Amino acid sequence: MSAETGPRVDQADLAAAGEVRQETMIINMGPQHPSTHGVLRLLLELDGEEVVSCQPIVGYLHTGIEKNCEYRTWQQGVTYVTRADYLSPFFNELAYCLAAERLLGIEAPLRARVIRVLVSELNRVASHLVWLATGGMELGAISMMLYGFREREMLLDVFEAITGLRMNHAYIRIGGVVMDLPPGAEQRIRDLVPMLRGRIKEYEDILAQNPIWVDRNRGIGYLEADEALAFGVTGPMLRAAGVARDVRRDEPYCDYETYEFDVVTGREGDCYARFEVRVEEMKQSLRIVEQCLDRLEPGPVMVEDPKVRWPGQLEVGPDGIGNSNRYIAHIMEGSMEALIHHFKMVTEGVSVPAGEVYQPVEGPRGELGMYVVSDGGHKPYRVKIRDPSFANLQAVPSMVAGGLVADVIAVVASVDPVMGGVDR
């Protein structure tokens, strides 16, 4: 068919076609979607392949943790907050316990503080490994998923040996930690660190030299520093934009000012910079872990004050971790006062002076804050968890707008939101 005899296109048709082209399509991504990290829902407005706007919808994992905390004793609150951001349980416990300790006006003993730093930094590595695993999987690097979880298992084995649980440990308690490190744990961690360091280097090489990984991350999902600050973004996302903000250094807790580590920053503020920052952070965490191991001196791991410390003494028995037999014999047969005290502490718990504190810690995803209010009773009056992912997600619309729909996956992966923390 020649051009002359072909179907004639008149002006009206062209105008109509123009209108069609202007229409955008609304795509609903999630809440059940394999690459939205849990139950995040994104409402995307698309013009062809291009993202016009994006609206994150959260709340599909709203758990009511903050309300539950108000109905439990101060000590029991630890078990609730640890389940908020389930990839950083130690940080949730740490922020909550530090807040409660500040209200009580006490400080955990030295050994407990070192152990807290030790487990937190190991936790940071484990959390970043999950990010590497899932982020890699979502961009097609399936082997990263297997590698990441392999190394995480090793860390979880250590956590299990120390706390008895792989996740949701409730290990850090008000006044210290619930029990001392088991025999052999220090050596085990000492052996683990160089191995992890080698593996992290390996993964960095695998991905940084992989053209697909680089292409899918470099220049994608820009977030400028001032924009990030306006959205309340913290953690690796903010540092990748060049702002050296780290609660560990800016508002030190648990003697972080005495540890040597670098606050890693990037320049570009894109997905690739976030990848680099997180990988480098894992190495810094391992550095801190080694310093912790050198500092571990024998000593108490819980404050001595009987009005604060948990009365039970835990130990590993033949059937797992539980109250030590000696202690049970003591309260059941030895001392009536000890039994009364135990009963009072377990049912009523500590009484915390009235007041309010906001305690931030540097979690794997940014500033994890606990705003804790006490009315002087045996239960928290209000526990507000300021989760970093909640604020970080707010920046997603501006990061994906104007990009391609396939890059949304890369951007969300680089934000590393954990919906348990966002929705609480």
Where along the sequence are the contacts to other proteins (CB under 8 A)? 31-34, 38-39, 58-68, 71, 79-80, 83, 86-87, 102-103, 105, 130, 133-134, 145-146, 149-150, 152-153, 156, 166-168, 229-232, 243, 245, 250-251, 355-358, 360, 367, 369, 371, 373, 381-382, 384, 386, 390-391, 393-394, 419-420, 423-424
As a whole number of angstroms, the distance between CA 324 and CA 329 comes to 9
CB of 99 to other proteins, least distance (A): 10
If one counts every other C-beta atom within 10 angstroms of the C-beta of residue 375, the result is 13
CB of 130 to other proteins, least distance (A): 7
Nearest CA to 71 out of 378, 350, 385, 307 is that of 378
Which of 47/250 has CB closer to other proteins? 250
Which of 34/306 has CB closer to other proteins? 34
Secondary structure (DSSP) of 291-360? HHHHH--S--SB-S-TTTS-S--EEEETTEEEE-HHHHHIIIII-HHHHHHHHHHHHT-----SEEEEEE
Which of 79/291 has CB closer to other proteins? 79
Which of 327/371 has CB closer to other proteins? 371
CB of 226 to other proteins, least distance (A): 10
CB of 114 to other proteins, least distance (A): 22
CB of 168 to other proteins, least distance (A): 6
Asked if residue 68 lies in contact with residue 370, where contact means CB atoms within 8 angstroms, the answer is no
CB of 402 to other proteins, least distance (A): 18
Which of 278/386 has CB closer to other proteins? 386
CB of 214 to other proteins, least distance (A): 25
Secondary structure (DSSP) of 241-261? TT----HHHHS--TTGGGS--
As a whole number of angstroms, the distance between CA 394 and CA 222 comes to 14
Q: What DSSP designation does 404 have?
A: B
Which of 301/393 has CB closer to other proteins? 393
CB of 24 to other proteins, least distance (A): 19
Q: List CB contacts of 91: < 8 A, sequence separation 6 or more.
A: 85, 120, 123, 124, 361, 362, 363, 364, 368
Which of 52/61 has CB closer to other proteins? 61
As a whole number of angstroms, the distance between CA 233 and CA 231 comes to 5
Which of 230/329 has CB closer to other proteins? 230
Asked if residue 69 lies in contact with residue 378, where contact means CB atoms within 8 angstroms, the answer is no
Q: 């404050």: which residue's tokens?
A: 303
If one counts every other C-beta atom within 10 angstroms of the C-beta of residue 265, the result is 20
Nearest CA to 284 out of 146, 149, 122 is that of 122
CB of 33 to other proteins, least distance (A): 7
As a whole number of angstroms, the distance between CA 125 and CA 206 comes to 18
Which of 249/341 has CB closer to other proteins? 249
If one counts every other C-beta atom within 10 angstroms of the C-beta of residue 198, the result is 9
CB of 356 to other proteins, least distance (A): 8
Which of 283/382 has CB closer to other proteins? 382
